[in-house]
């Protein structure tokens, strides 16, 4: 310990100095009353007066005890000047008293330091305990909220989109919109988005009909001139009562009004929600509702973008073209990321014969929403994987999963199997343009 730090930690408080002076003077006064001829008990059986600096050293530390000894030494010289004591200064007596006092003070300082460290440790542990208690309480609330959300929304967004795709695939082969699976979709929205009372109203030439096509709960005919309905028709986007634009508008009968609009811009129907839990009306629910409705509307009919992509990219499967445009719409409207992963097989001649087995393994490892487009034939094959709801970290996980699977099944990872991969994320540019640029970089010929 440095001298500066020792002086700071050992320095008694102001009132301790006052007590040091008073107790030393009181001890000197009592010693004078007890033995006027020898108040310092020099040569006596026991030097009672040194109890004062010893007690002060034990109580306040070395500095206080040394100060008391110095004060007693000064009192001895004053007493000799006043004629109360005679002779030479008792140097050994005073030195012994000083050493004993310093030993007591050092003992006190050591234990005071230990106690101080224990107090600091206990204070820190109390703070940590309080923090952990608060965090545990927040974790308990979070767990309760997650449990409630799990009961209210038993599906993940991926599972919900798979279900919507299955429902929409019931459309007729002619492409005529028949709202395939609409009743099941409303039940799914009721579970996933906690809708309680809602109705779907068909739009003819962009004009919603009052009649209810499909209802959830005790829905009523649509009030076409409702301010929230009119705002939704004007903006062609999901609208709700908490929007800033609706604050000054007349009171609406609806909580949410959302359009079922295809990627071509055709308004197919309106979803009007009259009742839902107040706490469920937040950004996550609104984004999820918009994604599910847009995904369903796009799945009802082949979009113009998908047909255009098939013309520009010969061989593109219709389902792949539709899905990549739906994924691009989710990015554009709800910032939900999707990615493309292009796998090139046959880079190593010694493993080229196993290319069909490698491709089959990749197809088996695809998830429910993933889609594949196989390009080429024979030993030189490209497989383009569309990974909806998958960002860069998810793509890394997909590559690692495929690599480990190949090693376990064929004893050859990507490098040994001669498989190279390229990745791209769906962004603001048209997905057809993204595919063309990706094919150009990877030397893919359609």
- Taking only the tens place, the pLDDT of each residue in 345-363 is 877 766 667 788 888 888 8
pTM: 0.53
Lowest mean pLDDT among 75-79, 195-199, 282-286: 75-79
What are the pLDDT digits (tens) for 170-211? 654 444 446 777 888 888 888 888 899 999 999 888 889 999
Short-list 46, 102, 39, CA closest to 72: 39
More confident residue, 166 or 177: 166
Q: Does domain 322-442 have CATH number 3.30.70.2880?
A: yes
Which residues of the chain does CATH 3.30.450.40 include? Answer: 157-300
How far does CA 157 lie from the centroid of its chain? 19
pLDDT attached to residue 82: 72
DSSP one-letter code for 86: -
Looking at per-residue pLDDT, the higher value among 386 and 381 belongs to: 386
Q: Most confidently modeled of 139-148, 244-253, 395-404, 410-419?
A: 395-404
Band of residue 1 on the pLDDT scale cut at 50, 70, 90: very low
Q: What percent of the chain has pLDDT over 90?
A: 13
CATH hierarchy code of domain 157-300: 3.30.450.40
Mean pLDDT of 8-26: 70
Edge-to-edge order in the sheet of strand 371-377: 371-377, 380-387, 339-344, 420-425
CA atoms within 13 A on the CB side of 329: 25
Higher-pLDDT residue of 385 and 151 is: 385
* Phi (first) and psi of residue 204, to 5 degrees: -115, 115
Half-sphere exposure of 191 (CA within 13 A, CB side): 15
The whole-number pLDDT of residue 177 equals: 47
Per-residue model confidence (pLDDT) at position 387: 92
Find out whether 62 and 1 touch, Cβ atoms under 8 Å.
Answer: no
* C-alpha–C-alpha distance, residues 320 and 431, integer Å: 11
Rounded to a whole number of angstroms, the CA Rg of the chain reads 43
pLDDT score of 174: 40
Q: What is the DSSP letter of 336?
A: -
Tens digits of per-residue pLDDT, 29-74?
Answer: 777 777 777 777 776 677 777 878 888 888 887 788 888 888 887 8
Within the chain, which residue ranges are assigned CATH 3.30.70.2880?
Answer: 322-442
Strands (E), 217-266: 239-240, 256-261
The Cα–Cα gap between 45 and 290 comes to: 99
Extract the tokens encoding 23.
Answer: 């107790």
Within 10 Å of residue 22's Cβ, how many Cβ atoms?
Answer: 10
- 53's tokens: 């600096």
- Range list of β-strands (E), 349-393: 371-377, 380-387
Nearest Cα residue to 316 out of 402, 386, 392: 386
The predicted structure's pLDDT at residue 304: 64
Mean pLDDT estimate for the chain: 81
């Amino acid at each position: 310990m440095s001298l500066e730090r020792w002086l700071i930690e050992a320095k008694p408080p102001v009132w301790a100095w006052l007590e040091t002076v008073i107790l030393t003077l009181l001890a000197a006064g009592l010693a004078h009353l007890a033995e006027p001829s020898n108040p310092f008990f020099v040569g006596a059986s026991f030097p009672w007066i040194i109890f004062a600096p010893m007690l002060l050293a034990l109580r306040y530390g070395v500095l206080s005890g040394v100060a008391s000894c110095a004060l007693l030494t000064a009192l001895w010289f004053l007493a000799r000047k006043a004629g109360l004591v005679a002779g030479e200064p008792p140097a050994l007596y005073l030195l012994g008293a000083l050493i004993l006092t310093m030993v007591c003070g050092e003992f006190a300082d050591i234990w005071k330091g230990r106690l101080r460290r224990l107090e600091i440790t206990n204070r820190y542990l109390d703070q940590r305990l309080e923090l952990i208690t608060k965090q545990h309480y927040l974790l308990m609330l979070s767990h309760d909220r997650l449990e409630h959300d799990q009961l209210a929304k038993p599906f993940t967004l991926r599972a919900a989109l798979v279900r919507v795709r299955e429902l929409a695939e019931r459309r007729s082969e002619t492409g005529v919109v028949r709202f395939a699976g609409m009743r099941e979709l409303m039940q799914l929205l009721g579970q996933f988005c906690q809708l309680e009372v809602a109705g779907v109203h068909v739009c003819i030439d962009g004009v919603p009909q009052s009649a209810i096509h499909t209802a959830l709960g005790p829905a009523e005919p649509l009030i076409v001139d409702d301010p929230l309905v009119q705002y939704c028709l004007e903006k062609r986007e999901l609208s709700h009562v908490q929007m800033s634009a609706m604050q000054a508008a007349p009171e609406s009968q609806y909580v949410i009004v959302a359009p079922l609009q295809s990627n071509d811009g055709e308004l197919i129907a309106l979803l009007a929600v009259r009742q839902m839990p107040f706490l469920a009306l937040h950004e996550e629910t609104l984004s999820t509702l918009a994604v599910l409705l847009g995904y369903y509307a796009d799945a009802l009919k082949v979009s113009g973008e998908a047909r255009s992509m098939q013309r520009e990219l010969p061989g593109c499967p219709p389902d792949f073209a539709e899905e990549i445009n739906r994924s691009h719409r989710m990015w554009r409207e709800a910032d939900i990321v999707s990615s493309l992963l292009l796998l090139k097989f046959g880079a190593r001649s010694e493993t080229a014969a196993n290319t069909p087995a490698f491709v089959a393994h990749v197809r088996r490892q695809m998830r429910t929403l993933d889609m594949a487009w196989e390009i080429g034939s024979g030993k030189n094959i490209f497989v383009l994987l569309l990974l909806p709801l998958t960002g860069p970290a998810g793509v890394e996980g997909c590559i690692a999963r495929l690599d480990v699977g190949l090693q376990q099944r064929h004893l050859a990872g990507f490098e040994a199997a001669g498989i190279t991969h390229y990745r791209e994320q769906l962004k603001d540019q048209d997905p057809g343009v993204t595919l063309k640029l990706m094919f150009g970089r990877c030397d893919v010929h359609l």
